[in-house]
Chain A
Amino acid sequence: MEQSRPGCDGGAEAVINLQPNSTISIAYHPLFGPHDDMVLLELDEKLLPDVLDQRISLRGHLDEDAVLCTRSKTYAVKFVGNSNSVLLIPPSNQFSHESHIKKNTDEEVVASVIKVALGNMELVEIAPKVDKLKLLLSRNPLKLGELTETDDLDEMIDNDKSLYRWYDLTDMIQASDEELMTALNAFSAVEINGYWRIVDENYMDAILNILLQNSILNDWSLNALNEDEVLDVLESDGFTRKIARHCLQVYGFKVDGDSLWRLDERKVCVHFARGILRGGKMKMESFMEEWGRKVPERMSVNFDMLEGEVLTETLGIQTWVYAFGISSLPCDPAARFSALFHERKKWDWRDLNPYIRDLNVPGLSSDALLLKYTRRTQPTPDSEPVFTMR
């Protein structure tokens, strides 16, 4: 009977570089076992540099499906089983087992199998899951009076107050760093003393009104606001520079280098429309009249500005307008459509489009999204299509 002869340990190299007309022995590794802590991850070649530079992490709580994040993208991690036997052979020097296999060049070359893999993980690009971020931030918005011009750091630090630092968020939110930052900007969050906050509507309203009043007093052009000047004046009115600058960011955009800001007419007008409709629905005529009166003199309102902000309904001969803001809706497509059809059973395209055009699901076009979540009906070939719940 042939004895088991320990051979020269060739490892994976011996398999990969097996020369024509030669034979090696495949053996069980001294450490052969299930090795559940060892997994295979299928990865696109273009992500390899991110791995080498250690820019990749898995994010999610124990009750969530893990996602893999690069610096800019988020991927779902799926396990794909394989009914074949996948024999996994490490390089010769990866696991020390000198005592078992002697290095003896006279012997045949052996490559050892450390485990049989039952499958591998694969990645599917997905949209970041940022609804939780909105929920967390909305628990404790920054309120008027909470911050004083002295910018007191210590007073607001309290662990029970639902305040989140950047690394708290990367721990809790399933999104890549870039996507998380984009979402924070989209939700108009601002980092104050190390904590990411959204600012209460009343606070924003107060500071915007004071900015507009000062623009009249000081004869500032709303198209060319000098940052330092604005910040100085708002600071003397009791707002921190950080919040004052945040106000410029939310309602305006930078022009011409780094010190001039221009207020965005649409953003400012939408702000006032929201304020008016917070009291409930209004008749169209009275709403338009009040809206036109509330906005700064040098700005003019246009109902198209309110796409994705308000809906109208006709009762008798009256048209009523009421607030229905896209920012209050979930970002997850299934939840978004569910919320939309909860609000209205039937949508025509003109109304629906503003509420879904921001949805971006990797690998799914907007038509495919509509097909997946809605039923489209067209009573006659010339009529507008109507979308109902699927």
Chain B
Amino acid sequence: MEIKVKCRCGEEKCKEWAIVELQGVVEVQPEFQDSFRTLPMAKLCRPSSQENYTFSVGYHELSGSKVPLKKPFLVMKKIKHSIADKDGGDTSSVSKVELEVIGIVRHRILFKNRPKALISSSQPVVKAKLSAPGSVAHTN
């Protein structure tokens, strides 16, 4: 089986996507489990002209920086085309799979440290817990 990698970007550059990477997991509180889509998760702030950033989730704040990826990431999406069977295609249909390049990532904003608590902060709508398990952070 051969799966072709399609790219419709053509002569233009592929559209750039963004990555925000942090240690641990952002968890949605149980009461929002079914309706968290479109809700805010965090604030991303660039306090100075340097490529340093803060990421505030609930009353936790992470500090990190923008780092270029050594090699870019392609964002690819699997696409299935159904090809109708020659005999009318009522029961069996052959599907052809393709991968389409839908974006490229060249940088990530990396928060590799554990969060610090913000002492006084208003209660945000989606209280997201930030749990940092004892995992080893990426160091590049």
Say which residue of B3, B49, B50, B69 sits within 8 Å of A57 (CB atoms). Answer: B3
Complex CA–CA separation, A182 to B86 (angstroms): 36
Nearest residue, chain A, Cβ from B79: A37
Say which residue of B3, B101, B122 sits within 8 Å of A58 (CB atoms). Answer: B3
Whether the pair B7, A54 counts as a contact (CB closer than 8 A) is: yes
B94 within 8 A of A: no
In the complex, per-residue mask of B46-86: 1 if CB is within 8 Å of any chain A CB, else 0: 11111001010000000000000101111111100000000
A193 within 8 A of B: no
In the complex, per-residue mask of A77-88: 1 if CB is within 8 Å of any chain B CB, else 0: 000001111111
Query: Interface residues, chain A, CB within 8 Å of chain B?
Result: 1-4, 6, 12-13, 15-16, 18-32, 37-45, 48, 51-52, 54, 56-62, 66, 68, 82-91, 94, 100-101, 110-113, 116-117, 120, 170-171
Taking CB atoms and an 8 Å cut-off, the chain B residues in 1-46 that contact chain A are 1-7, 9-11, 14-26, 36-46
Residues of chain B within 8 A of A29, CB atoms compared: 37-38
Complex CA–CA separation, A14 to B109 (angstroms): 13
Given A40-B73, A90-B17, A94-B102, the answer on whether A54 and B4 have CB atoms closer than 8 Å is yes
Whether the pair B16, A91 counts as a contact (CB closer than 8 A) is: yes
Complex CA–CA separation, A12 to B75 (angstroms): 13
Smallest beta-carbon distance A226→chain B, Å: 42
Complex CA–CA separation, A66 to B4 (angstroms): 12
Residues of chain A within 8 A of B20, CB atoms compared: 15, 26, 86-87, 89, 113
Residues of chain B within 8 A of A13, CB atoms compared: 16
B125 within 8 A of A: yes
Complex CA–CA separation, A60 to B97 (angstroms): 13
Say which residue of B40, B49, B122 sits within 8 Å of A25 (CB atoms). Answer: B40
Complex CA–CA separation, A101 to B38 (angstroms): 8
Whether the pair B5, A15 counts as a contact (CB closer than 8 A) is: no
Smallest beta-carbon distance A212→chain B, Å: 43
Whether the pair B41, A28 counts as a contact (CB closer than 8 A) is: yes
Nearest residue, chain A, Cβ from B106: A16
Say which residue of A4, A42, A48 sits within 8 Å of B39 (CB atoms). Answer: A4
Nearest residue, chain A, Cβ from B133: A83
Whether the pair B103, A84 counts as a contact (CB closer than 8 A) is: no
Say whether chain A's binding surface is mostly helix, strand, loop, or mixed: mixed
Complex CA–CA separation, A42 to B69 (angstroms): 9
Residues of chain B within 8 A of A85, CB atoms compared: 21-26
Residues of chain A within 8 A of B76, CB atoms compared: 38-41
B135 within 8 A of A: yes
Say which residue of A57, A82, A91, A100 sits within 8 Å of B15 (CB atoms). Answer: A91
Smallest beta-carbon distance A20→chain B, Å: 4
Taking CB atoms and an 8 Å cut-off, the chain B residues in 101-120 that contact chain A are 101-103, 105, 107-109, 112
Besides A84-B138, A91-B15, 10 other A-B contacts (C-beta < 8 A):
A1-B123, A4-B126, A21-B47, A26-B42, A37-B78, A44-B71, A51-B74, A84-B137, A91-B16, A101-B38
Say which residue of A6, A52, A89 sits within 8 Å of B10 (CB atoms). Answer: A52
Say which residue of B9, B19, B44 sits within 8 Å of A23 (CB atoms). Answer: B44
Smallest beta-carbon distance A72→chain B, Å: 15
Nearest residue, chain B, Cβ from A43: B74
Given A15-B20, A22-B46, A85-B21, the answer on whether A40 and B74 have CB atoms closer than 8 Å is yes
Residues of chain A within 8 A of B73, CB atoms compared: 40-43, 120
Smallest beta-carbon distance A341→chain B, Å: 34
Whether the pair B38, A30 counts as a contact (CB closer than 8 A) is: yes
Whether the pair B19, A86 counts as a contact (CB closer than 8 A) is: yes
Whether the pair B38, A6 counts as a contact (CB closer than 8 A) is: yes
Given A15-B18, A16-B18, the answer on whether A94 and B1 have CB atoms closer than 8 Å is no
Residues of chain A within 8 A of B26, CB atoms compared: 85, 87, 116
Residues of chain A within 8 A of B40, CB atoms compared: 4, 25-28, 110
Smallest beta-carbon distance B120→chain A, Å: 15
Residues of chain A within 8 A of B4, CB atoms compared: 54, 56-57
Residues of chain B within 8 A of A120, CB atoms compared: 73
Smallest beta-carbon distance A64→chain B, Å: 9
Say which residue of B41, B48, B108, B125 sits within 8 Å of A26 (CB atoms). Answer: B41
- Among B41, B99, B137, chain A packs the most CB atoms within 10 A around the CB of B41
Residues of chain A within 8 A of B37, CB atoms compared: 28-32, 100
Given A23-B43, A27-B38, A57-B3, the answer on whether A87 and B19 have CB atoms closer than 8 Å is yes
Nearest residue, chain B, Cβ from A12: B18
Whether the pair B74, A84 counts as a contact (CB closer than 8 A) is: no
- Among A26, A43, A54, A66, chain B packs the most CB atoms within 10 A around the CB of A26
